[in-house]
Amino acid sequence: MDDHNNSDPEAASSKAERRRTKIIQTLMSGSSTQIRDLAESLGVSLMTIHRDLSVLEKEGLVRRLRGSVSAEKSLLFESSYNYRGRKNVEDKKRLARAAVTRLEPGNAVMIDDSTTTYYLSEFLLDVAPLTVVTNAAPILEKLRHAPEIDLISTGGRYHPGYHGYFGANCEKAIRSYHVDVAILSTTTIQGLSLYTPDEIVVRAKQAMMQVARKRILLADATKFTFSALNYVAEITDFDLVILTGDIPPDKLDLIRASKVNVEIV
């Protein structure tokens, strides 16, 4: 059913965002999809699907051609940093704020490239001095002049889709450190397992987990919605899992049954 006439503009906007995220997920295989088929699978009119595609086209994420649509090859589809960075901002800030309360002055902290952990940079000065090691270009930019932050870049090959540094040199640098805390997010959580679309991201995250005395995972409710190809780790590999948003009750029950330390914020 088309949501165009939804009387609640905020609800309609949220529904449209979820639908556009599903479109990006559908196109992740890299093959083109008939626009009519996309509308049918999402249960909306052609007018609605074209409106969604117009928005995504302006974002630089998709390309329409003769009744079909495909993801722009220059981007890693749902992994486009700019696209992800504008989603669920308040949830991400809530998670970041909660994570920072678990840090202590003097800690060495490893932070991954996710748009969720980016918001740690807004609160880290509250517990400075800190040493921060990261492969995330936005965090490096935000903290480069921050007082009492000893900032260390992993280096490596820059990846524009993730706005971060990856590859063999990045992983080697990560493994040369031993940190008090690693704070990570994930593309998706299926059952008790974490997945992400790209194996270069997997290797960086796994290296960060290996060199940390304590591991913290941050995730909002959208992380339970989709699947991704590459296995990263188990939720039980983390010392603390901080969640926010409308987590499906069955998913939350499964996590709690695993005896992992969970905090809902």
Q: Pick from 112, 220, 122, 125: which is nearest to 159 by CA?
A: 112
Cβ(77)–Cβ(28) under 8 Å? Answer: yes
Most confident of 42-56, 84-98, 222-236: 42-56
pLDDT tens for 66-83 read 888 887 654 444 445 656
Cβ(202)–Cβ(130) under 8 Å? Answer: no
pLDDT tens for 161-202 read 788 999 999 999 999 999 999 999 998 999 999 998 889 999
Domains of the chain, earliest start first:
9-75 (1.10.10.10), 83-264 (3.40.50.1360)
Segment 17-21 shows an average pLDDT of: 82
Distance CA(131)–CA(64), nearest Å, equals 46
Cβ(92)–Cβ(186) under 8 Å? Answer: no
φ, ψ of residue 255 to 5 degrees: the values are -65, -45
How many helices and strands in the chain, by DSSP H and E? Answer: 10, 15
pLDDT bin (cut points 50, 70, 90) of residue 57 is confident
| Per-residue pLDDT, 226 | 72
| Per-residue pLDDT, 198 | 85
| Per-residue pLDDT, 76 | 46
Q: What is the residue type of 68?
A: S
| Per-residue pLDDT, 22 | 79
Q: Residue 6: is its pLDDT beyond 60?
A: no
Q: Residue 29: is its pLDDT beyond 60?
A: no
Check whether the bond before 138 is cis (ω within 30° of 0).
no
Strand runs (DSSP E) across 31-138, as ranges? 33-34, 62-65, 68-71, 108-111, 130-134
Strand runs (DSSP E) across the chain, as ranges? 33-34, 62-65, 68-71, 108-111, 130-134, 149-153, 157-159, 164-166, 179-184, 188-190, 193-196, 212-220, 230-234, 240-244, 262-264
**Based on C-alpha coordinates, what's the Rg of the chain?**
19
pLDDT tens for 87-115 read 678 999 999 999 999 999 999 999 999 99
**Average confidence score pLDDT of the chain:** 88
Distance CA(210)–CA(28), nearest Å, equals 29
Q: pLDDT over 90 for what percent of the chain?
A: 66
Identify the helix (H) or strand (E) that includes residue 83: helix 81-85
pLDDT tens for 135-148 read 999 999 999 999 99
